[in-house]
Amino acid sequence: MISNQALLLLMLSNLWPSTALPFMSGNIGNLFGMPESDGKVLQRSKRGWMWNQFFLLEEYTGNDHQYVGKLHSNMDKGDGTVKYILTGDGAGTLFLIDEKSGDIHATKRLDREEKAMYTLHAKVLDRNTNAELEPDTEFNIKIHDINDNEPKFAREIYFASVPEMSEVGTSVATVTATDADDQTYGNSAKLVYSILQGQPYFSVDSENGTIKTALPGMDREVKENYQVVIQAKDMAGQMGGLSGTTTVSITLSDVNDSPPRFANHSFRVTTVESTEIGGAIGRIKADDPDIGHNAEMEYSIVGGHDTFNIITDQTTQEGVIIIKKALDYESKKDYEFRVEVRNTYLDARFIHGVQFKDYATVKVTVEDVDEPPVFTRNPYIIEVHEDTAAGSFVGVVLARDPDADNKPVKYSIDRHTDLERLFSIDSTNGTITTLKALDREMSKWHNISVVATEINNPRQTTRVPVFIKLIQTISAVDTDEPLVGHKFVFSMSGTNPNFTIVDKEDNTANILTRRGGFSRREMSMYFLPVVISDNDYPIQSSTSTLIVRVCACDSRGNMQSCSPEVLPFSDGLTTGALVAILLCVIILLMIVVLFAALRRQRKKEPLIISKEDVRDNVVSYNDEGGGEEDTQAFDIGTLRNPEVMDANKLRRDIIPEMLFPFRRTSPIKDNTDVRDFINGRLQENDSDPTAPPYDSLATYAYEGSGSLAESLSSLESAANEGDQDYDYLSNWGPQFKKLAEMYIGRSPDRET
């Protein structure tokens, strides 16, 4: 048998064939107890150690020290003068060396997994002088591995999931074990995986530990959790190999492979008619074996419904039926509709060939409740003439019991809304009358509340606001003194689509609306020409314009933004006033004409040189006008010079009932008496229907040619400085006074 040392050296020669074994004496044959080869001694030409690396098996179980190897130098003559010294990892404790022979032994059992290699240093010394015979040389002691460690998994239990209905071979998870043995030496760390529990549902890859599905159509709704045991065995799975196991808990995750279904396809719901709009009256539920968002559903009424709607409670996945329109037991008691349920989220892999929705029928029964009275209108807006006397009729409100038995109703006024006690109401028929006279100047609106109460059940009451508006009336006065009182007739010029006038035949009239729905956006102001005529002969009339403003009001009828009053204004004066003003103006103009004639005897030209308006607009008001908006109420064209006057000028404030041709004669150019000229002009204007009364005057300041009066000025021209007659006004005064009496028809002693 070959000794362990020889085997060790043989292994070394195989590992390092290029390095000769360093022996000072003897040869390999002597070392193994073999004769010399051909009687020659093999000698190394170069000194050196005979070792480089030693190998030692781990986990030695013998009682003696484990032999490692032998150190030997070619300086050793075998006479005991050489001493071997060992230093490095574990020298002197774990590893011991015989100083004389160089044998190395391990004193303890070694574990490769604890330390796989030790590095030491060897020295050769002269025993007598301690001089180094060889330099310090390094060598290794490598621990050979044996299969003394089983495979281990990182965790005792793993958790994994895979979608239900997955195809065969779908990867679930990968589990890996580790072996502490040497991966590069033998099969001690070569692992093989196998499944001990979990078949036939799952399988495992023997090389990498990947778990896969092995059975098709695994349904979460049938079985959700699986326990799979995986084993890892070393030595490539051979007999005698060590093994380790782990458990993998696999859960089938949900997919939307199940449609919602109604357990009962008919539902009945009962509610009362007083349920408010938007209130819930019942719930229905469909079942879906899926979980999470795969079980989310949405409900809808097939074809929609005008009275009911259905929404989904996202927490409970129930369909909630709500009121969409007010219920009325007396109108309809029973309803029936069809409800559809479907999944919110669909999986395209499972919808083919499967109806992922279901239907159910819902019947709703409405129950009667005792309801309060209902007014025919809400609110009421009633118009009453101002200055209405006490006990006058105002209006009627009407309420009824909406229940089938139609219980009687009584009426009352909430006195908190009528603190002055201006109104009363008939408790039986709802007729409202005045208790006191109403004054529009004190209050234009009266807002009261009327209460309707069921006689058999006083708890059933209803309130309604009643807005009472006082209507303004118009009136007129005449400064004349008729023999038998004033009698005025009111009318409206033309046809007005918005308003009408009603003559009350008591010298007052009412203005009423002919339509509703006035809007400030369309028109904020209306102008109503009102014609007022007397009953004396000759009949005199006047036109006034009434301004009606559209006001913005709130829901209770209170005015929010508007002028405080509806103000009429006048666009004309009485005939007598106009004539008096006209005579005064004519006298003044004649004085101016005569004065100019004295200064310009040799020049005969119109008094008004240019065609610009040189006029005095003398207006007398006995009522409040309309301000700047009143400019359309009169025409001042009459004041223009006859040569520049528009012959077709008509009034712009009203539409005349008949169109008359405008007639005007040319100024007198021959020797005509001034009185005849003025009198002719007055008669001409009296017979002209388009002539005044306006707030304007016609100007006759035109000097005629060949006047018999010649110059009436008290001043002589510059060429004639003789005595003058300064009493010309006293000569002409009686003539003008007589002319005024002729036109006005009044006594001479009366003041004009």
* φ/ψ of residue 680, rounded to 5: -65, -40
Q: Is the dihedral of CA 580, 582, 585, 586 positive or negative?
A: negative
Cα 467 from chain centroid (whole Å): 37
**Scanning the structure block, which residue is given the tokens 């040569």?**
643
Q: Looking at residue 248, what is its pLDDT?
A: 96
Give me the helix-helix angle, 575-599 and 674-687, nearest 10°.
150
Partnered with residue 656 across adjacent β-strands are none
Distance CA 554, CA 561 (A): 10
Which three-class secondary structure string do you get for 191-253? CEEEEEECCCCEEECCCCCEEEECCCCCCCCCCCEEEEEEEEECHHHCCCCCEEEEEEEEEEE
Cα 282 from chain centroid (whole Å): 31
Regions of the chain with pLDDT less than 50: 1-50, 483, 563-572, 603-621, 629, 633-634, 643-671, 709, 711-722, 724, 726-730, 732, 743, 745-752
Tens-digit pLDDT profile for residues 681-734: 777 777 776 655 555 555 555 555 555 545 444 444 444 444 545 444 445 455
User: What homologous superfamily does CATH list for 374-465?
Assistant: Cadherins (2.60.40.60)
Q: What is the DSSP letter of 30?
A: H
List C-alpha distances in Å: 89 to 70, 120, 142: 17, 6, 12
Map residue 583 onto helix, strand or coil.
Answer: helix
Distance CA 94, CA 110 (A): 9
Domain assignments of the chain as residue spans, ordered by start: 4-144, 152-253, 261-367, 374-465, 473-566, 575-744
Cis peptide bond prior to 692, omega within 30° of 0: no
Q: Looking at residue 340, what is its pLDDT?
A: 95
Tens-digit pLDDT profile for residues 196-232: 999 999 999 999 999 999 999 899 989 999 999 999 9
Buried b (16+ CB within 10 A) or exposed e, 243-258: bbbbbbebebebbbbb
Partnered with residue 268 across adjacent β-strands are 363
Map residue 734 onto helix, strand or coil.
Answer: helix
Q: Are 429 and 395 in contact (CB under 8 A)?
A: no
Q: Looking at residue 147, what is its pLDDT?
A: 72
What dihedral do alpha carbons 436, 441, 444, 448 form, nearest 10°? -30
Fold designation for 152-253? Immunoglobulin-like (2.60.40)
Buried b (16+ CB within 10 A) or exposed e, 524-560: eeebbbbbbbbeeeeebebbbbbbbeebebeeebeee
Q: Looking at residue 476, what is its pLDDT?
A: 60
Distance CA 29, CA 10 (A): 12
**Scanning the structure block, which residue is given the tokens 């060598």?**
139
Distance CA 711, CA 700 (A): 18
Q: Looking at residue 88, what is its pLDDT?
A: 87
Tens-digit pLDDT profile for residues 505-540: 777 788 888 887 787 777 878 888 888 887 766 677
Q: State the number of CA atoms in the 13 A half-sphere of 7 facing the CB.
A: 8
Partnered with residue 321 across adjacent β-strands are 282, 310
Tens-digit pLDDT profile for residues 122-143: 888 888 888 888 888 888 888 8
How many CB atoms are closer than 10 A to CB 135? 10
Architecture of domain 4-144 in this structure: Sandwich (2.60)
- pTM for the whole thing? 0.41
CATH of 473-566, one of 2.60.40.10, 3.40.50.300, 3.40.50.1820, 2.60.40.60: 2.60.40.60
Both structure tokens of 733: 């005064």
Strand ranges inside 504-639, DSSP E: 508-513, 525-533, 541-549, 552-553, 559-561, 568-570
Both structure tokens of 510: 């009412």
Asked: is 261-367 a CATH 2.40.50.140 domain? The reply is no
What dihedral do alpha carbons 24, 30, 36, 41 form, nearest 10°? 0
List C-alpha distances in Å: 397 to 412, 416, 424: 11, 19, 12
Report which residue type is found at 11.
M
The reply to whether domains 261-367 and 374-465 share a CATH topology is: yes
Q: Looking at residue 59, what is its pLDDT?
A: 72
With vertex at residue 745, the alpha carbon angle to CA 739 and CA 750, rounded to the nearest 5 degrees, is 90
Both structure tokens of 117: 């290699």
- Nearest CA to 547 among 474, 652, 495? 474
